[in-house]
Structure formats: structure tokens, C-alpha cells
Chains A and B, each alone.
Chain A
Amino acid sequence: MRQIKIDPITRLEGHGKIDIFLNDDGEVANTYFQIPELRGFEQFCVGRPVEELPRITTRICGVCPEAHHMASAKACDAVFHVDPPPTAKKLRQLLYNVFFAGDHTLHFYALGGPDFIVGPTAPAAERNILGVVKKVGLEVGGKVIEMRKRTQEVLKTLGGKQTHQVTSLPGGVSKGITSEEAKHIEEHCLWFVEFGKFTLQAFNDIVLKNQQYVDLILSDAFSHKTYYMGLVDEQNRVNFYDGKVRVVDPDGKEFVKYSPSEYLENIAEEVEPWTYLKFPFLKKVGWKGLVDGKDSGVYRATPLSRLNASDGMPTPLAQAEYEKMYSTLGGKPVHATLATHWARVIELLSAAEMALDLVRDPEITGTNIRTIPTEIPTEGVGIVEAPRGTLTHHYTTDAKGMVTKVNLIVGTTNNYAPISMSINKAARGLIKKGQEVTEGTLNMIEMAFRAYDPCFGCATHALPGRRPFILRIRDKDGEILKEINRC
């Protein structure tokens, strides 16, 4: 048995490694996708004042701190049974949609996108944002950088800091915006919508017009029939910030729709001894292992899942693109993992449109931005869609609001089983008997996880342990000759 290791996986957030076992014929016997890290947020948040969690949990992930900040803020509101004023909610949503557009930009151009833009088997030194800039030219590269610059500026205005926002409190936000700031943000949002359109055009020109890529997207090696999950509003349209969690089965039929407080009735996590990350699955279907199908509780929570689980987009330009995608790919639901990249850029446009609507709302410059909580804090659940999937923060506190229990089900964690399956299937599809396994082949296997835009910093918020020991060897006088420290 030959063992190939990919260590570490690259162009994603977080740590991971892939082991591929080849039998004597050179075919894939099995693959293992292991997550090597854990930090322990669920435990070390116990004992903290709950209002600090929106600032602590952002450090689960510095790429999507906004997602944790918002889920945490909503969980805090629920803990205190307090409803923020309308302006506060709109400010949070504005921040959130701008973040979404920026984050999807980062993924498409710097993380997952280079595989398509530069080519999946291009030399490793080219397969990155710098190679993208070289390939598409400085003008286009400059546009991507400008997109990030503008989104980060808005995030700093609304969130206090670009990375690791600080402005959400139980009951609202700590700072509002002036009409001058709103005007400035509106200019940015107009630019974001144009950039969204530009990116969709780029996707069309670079990916959809390239038959090789289209074949890759539609290939069986990169396809799974699973359940799909996403937040939807009352009309079952995609909503990143609020709503109910809707799950559809592999045929696209609604399986369940639950509100945040009901998440434990629907999601459970399976433990495997060979990795630090747990595998969430649909409780009502059951854990059948890393397999596809209606009888397997494996589900996906990704941009593609959100589009699959919804009846449409909440904004007009994105809705048109949604319809185009499904008509091109043969109807709903779409099972092609790599189509997630397409869904992602549609969401980018939608987020930009949403942000523009929000900043134009007259209430956005309101001065009533906080409701002081008056009820005794108890327990609450906050759910948002992180760019990478449905994010659940569940807090329990004592009567003083000091945290007694935390449970987190994080965006990418939802997808651990499907990612493992995608890697396995891609490896089997790409590594053929008698063919050499090149660095390019291995990168194409990595593409199977990159479509999910994984965030393993997010996924690995928890922490196991090990017993430390110190071994001291002493001579007959008790002097230490040697010490082995395993702390």
C-alpha cells in the first residue's frame, strides 16, 4: 500500500491534511481527511460575561469574524430576551451583507478561484492571487484589491475594526452612522453591485466558456447527492442574517424547516477517533457514515446548498443569475460540488444589492441603536449563514449573565463529512491505474475541498486533551540525570 500525504492543505482558512492510500494496482483504496487542530472555545468561554462573547468568538476565525460576531450578538439578544431597535438590526445587516460580498470576493479570487483562473495543474508558484493578477492583468487585479479595500473601510466604520468587529452588544449596537457616512457607504455599495456583475461576467468568461472546466464541474468525480441546508426568510428566499433553517432532501423537497431554538432536535455530531473535528448530521435521518443519498444524514451547508434549499434570491439581479444557473445546469437541486463557485458569485451580487437597499433605508441613520436589557438572562440561540455554511451559537448563562455553557455548530463543521467524501471521490476519479500521481493531480484533489471555501479555524473551535507527564531519572544521590517533559 502506497501512502501519499498532502500536508498542509493550502488556500483555505485553517489546517488540514489528506492521506491517500493506493493499492498495489495504483488505485485509490481510501482517503482520510484529518483536522489536526482544536482550541477549546466552547469550554474557555464558560465563566466569561456573555456580552463579551461577540468579541471573543470572532477569534474563532479572522476571515469570517463578522459571522461569529453576528451569531453571537443574536444569541446574546436571545439570552437577554431583548429586541434591538430597528436601526440597530439594519446596521448589523448592512455590515453583514458588505462582509459577505467581501468574503466571497476573497475566496473567488484568492482561495478557490486561482485553480480556474490560472489553471488547476499550473505550477504551484502561479496558483495563487499573485498568479491571478499576472494572468488577468493589473487592471483587473487592481479591481479585486479595490473591492477589498472598500469593503474593509465600510466594515471598519460599522464594526469598529476591520478584523474582529466590536460594535454589537446585547440589545443593539454601540455606534450608529451619520448621513454623511451613509452617503459614503452608498457610493461603495453601488461599486459593489458593479463589481458583482463584473465577477459574474468573469466567471462566465473564464469558467463557463471553458468546456474543460464545465466538464469538470459536471463530472461525476465532483458530485454528491446530499441534503442541503440554508437560512430562508418567510418567502423561502435566501437570507444571510436571519430567518429559519430550511433543509431540502437530495430531490429538492423540503425536509424540515426549524427555528434556531430547535436546532438540537435536528442536528447531532458524530465523533471519530482519527480526527479532532466532529461530523454533524441530520438526526431525523441518522448517521450512516460517509455516504451520499436520502438515507444518509450527511448534509451540505454551502452557497450552493443555500440556493438549493431556497425558492429564490431576495434581490432582482441575483435572482436572474439564480435562474440562469439552474436552467444551465438542468434544474434544482444541483449536486455538482464545483458549481458552488457559481452560487458563491451569485451570492456576492445579492449581498451587494442587499447592502445598497439597506444603506438607502432612511432608518439606517437613526439614533436609537440600543435597547438596554431588563430581563433576567437565561439561554439563547443565534443562527446566521456564514459564507461557508449555517452557523449556530448556543449560550446558557446564570442569572447574572455569566456563561455556564456554550455549544457551537460552525459553518465548515457542517460540511466535514461531505468534504471528506468529495476528496475521496475526486481522488478515485483522478488517480487512475498506471498513471503517475503528479503535484497537479494532488492539487485537483484539493479543489474538491476548496469549493466549500472551508474555514477550519471555525470548525476547530473545540479542544480535547492529553495527560501530561514529566519523567525524571535520578542517580543514587537523587540528582537529576535526565528529564523528559511531556507537558
Chain B
Amino acid sequence: MAKPKLGLYWAASCGGCEIAVLDIHEKILDVAAAFDIVFWPVALDFKYSDVRAMEDKSIDLCLFNGSIRNSENAEIAHMMRAKSKVLVAFGSCALEGGIPGLANLTTKDAIWNYVYKESPSTVTKNGGTYPQTHSMMPEGSIDIPEMWETVKSLDQVVDVDYYVPGCPPQPEQIWGVIEYILSGKPLPAKGAVLGATDKTCCDECLRERKEKKLKKFFRPFEIQTDPNECLLDQGIVCMGPATRSGCGALCTKANVPCRGCYGPPPNVTDQGAKMVSALSSIIDAQDPQEIESILDQIVDPMGTFYRFSLAHSILRRVEKS
């Protein structure tokens, strides 16, 4: 009997999800034994034309990581959706835009202008040159994809079957998902989040938590912290309360605050809104002026609360002025 077919693809990605898959170590041999890997650009030499030639729905499982940043990312997303029975949004970028989604805090004009003109190391001739999607060279025409104005998650572009959160998803969780699929047990309902649990990161964190009444916040470099006490108790903004569990609270174990890479907890659509709620509950002030001066100490809420999830938040991007 033919082995089920597996494809892995990266859109606007950093490659960390691919490394996370390799970090299941010797179990990768079990994966290779159980599946026929038909597309995996980081490791295997199959090209787009090979996938285009496949029948629709002939790939049994596709793990798609990376956000949708340009026309090529979208084109391949559509192609993988057509060719795959089960399409998984794998990792934070595919799930919610990820860190590339922070580009939704700025505008393409601003970026374009900086990278190709203003950056201190860039040579600008004749007012500056910008990349073009089609270039007519002496030998023929060559093209590059068109960048989109807004970063999108995979499910904002195609229909997604399952989600595996994390930046990257932790290898033990990845193996758990693959093992489950190989077991032949019935898959959960479409749209389920796999490879994570259904509480918040605080649930996995071993630090001691007390009643919180905060009048001051600190940035992580400003103070030495106690390794056993909750970081939020010590005034360090930690995304734990607004982040899904499943990673093992690795960051707080390493004495730095959570930054939310496992995405929002179950039933939460907007990490920023949830974090505003959580921190507001523990700020110990009633006077409007005092409240504002405490809020001033929480620097960059947009870039911190939406570090990974901006593209998938309720408002998705900053409006141009």
C-alpha cells in the first residue's frame, strides 16, 4: 500500500518551524518511514512544477508555515490547499501572522522609502531605485512577486483544517501531533488547535504567584528579578495571562517574560484586548492621572501585546494617517 504523502512549505517564514520539525531528532526517521515526503524545499529538491503536476487532494497532509506577505506566498497557499486533503497552519506566522505581522504596524511607503533610499548604507542614484515585479532584461523578462500592503495569516487566504501554534511549535508537541495522526485515531473537529493545551502559559509556569497590586512597571533590563516569584508580581510585563499553554513556560524558566508566541488562549480572539483587561485588573490606582502615569511605564503595548498576533487581531493593522 502506498504511504500517505506529506508536504511541508514555508511562506514568509524564518525557517524556525522547519528546524523545530528536525528537532524531533531520530523520530524524523519514523516520519520518513511512515510518509512519502513529496515537497519540503529546505531539505528536498522537489520544485513548484512537481507539485503543480500532482492531482488535487493527493497530498494527505500539508504542514504550512509562514505568513502571507506577497503574491507568491498566496499562490502557493492556494496550490497547497488544492493539492492537500488536510492543510495545517503550522506555527505562529501561519496561524496569526507572527513577527512578520509587525509590519502591519507600519506602512509600505515608509518601509520602501527606508530600505531603498534612507538606510545609511544604501546607495541612492537618481533619487532612488525601487524593485519592480516585472523587469525586461536584454535576454528576456524576469519577475518577482508583488508585496502586499498587509501581512495575512493562512486562514485569511485559504480554508485551514487545523492549527499548531508556537514560535516555533515545541518539538515534543510536534511529535505528539504526528504520532496522533499516524495512530489512525479520528481527527478532532475541523478548526481545532493541536499541539497545545487549553489553559494559559501561567498554568505551566512554576513561579509563585501572589495577589497582585501594581503601582510600578519595569523593563526587563532595569532590575534584577527573583527567579521564583511571578514576573508580573515584580512589575515586569509578562504575556503569560493572555497566551495559550503548551510551550512549557520556557521563557519564564529562563528568567525572561513571556512574549505570547503560542498565540491567544482558547476563546480569545485578540491578545491585545485580553492583555489590556488582565493588566487593568491588577493596576492599583483609581485616580485618572495616576493611572496614566502608570500606563506610561508599559512601553510599546502595540508591539508587545500583538508581538505575534497582530495580523490575526480584530483590527489586523494600523491605519495610515
Contacts and interface: CB of A to CB of B under 8 A. Distances in A.
Touch between chains A and B, by CB atoms below 8 Å: yes
Interface stretch (B178-186, B196-204, B217-225): B217-225
Contacts of A146: 25
B266 interface: no
A487 B148 contact: yes
B112 A39 contact: no
13 contacts: A11-B42, A39-B103, A42-B115, A44-B111, A59-B14, A61-B14, A62-B14, A128-B43, A167-B255, A174-B255, A274-B132, A274-B135, A457-B13
B255 A40 contact: no
A443 B29 CA distance: 25
A156 B107 CA distance: 36
B128 interface: yes
Given A42-B115, A48-B300, A271-B116, A464 B16 contact: no
Contacts of A140: none
Interface string A6-23: 111011111100010100
A44 B254 contact: no
A26 interface: no
B15 A465 contact: no
A463 interface: yes
A463 B144 contact: no
B16 A62 contact: yes
Contacts of B171: 162
Given A3-B140, A10-B43, A15-B10, 8 more contacts: A10-B42, A59-B14, A59-B98, A268-B121, A271-B129, A276-B147, A464-B131, A465-B147
Contacts of A210: none
Contacts of B47: 6-8, 10
A55 interface: yes
B254 A52 contact: no
Interface string A69-86: 000000000001000000
B41 A10 contact: yes
B123 interface: yes
A39 B44 contact: no
Given A63-B19, A65-B16, A272-B129, A167 B256 contact: yes
Contacts of B300: 47-49, 52, 402
Given A43-B114, A56-B99, A110-B43, A400 B139 contact: no
A261 interface: no
Interface residues of B, number: 94
Contacts, number: 305
B145 A36 contact: yes
A275 interface: yes
Nearest to B98: A59
Interface in B37-57: 37, 41-49
Interface in B14-43: 14-20, 22-23, 25-26, 28-29, 32, 37, 41-43
Given A110-B43, A161-B254, A409-B121, A170 B221 contact: yes
A190 interface: no
B110 interface: yes
Contact of B106 (A44, A65, A278, A405): A44
Interface in B129-150: 129-133, 135, 137-140, 142, 144-150
A163 B220 contact: no
B106 A11 contact: no
A19 B142 contact: yes
Interface stretch (A27-35, A213-221, A428-436): A27-35
Interface string A113-154: 000000000001101111001000000011001101100100
A407 B254 CA distance: 29
Given A6-B47, A60-B14, A464 B139 contact: no
A124 B45 CA distance: 6
B321 to A, nearest CB: 14
A370 interface: yes
Interface in A152-179: 152, 156, 159-164, 166-167, 169-171, 174-175
A62 B70 CA distance: 20
B287 interface: no
B108 interface: yes
Contacts of A272: 129, 131
A38 interface: yes
Contacts of A370: 224
Interface string B89-130: 000000000111011011111111011100111111000111
Interface in A431-487: 443, 455, 457, 462-468, 487
A400 B149 contact: no
Contacts of B37: 130
B284 to A, nearest CB: 23
B254 A59 contact: no
Contacts of A80: 221
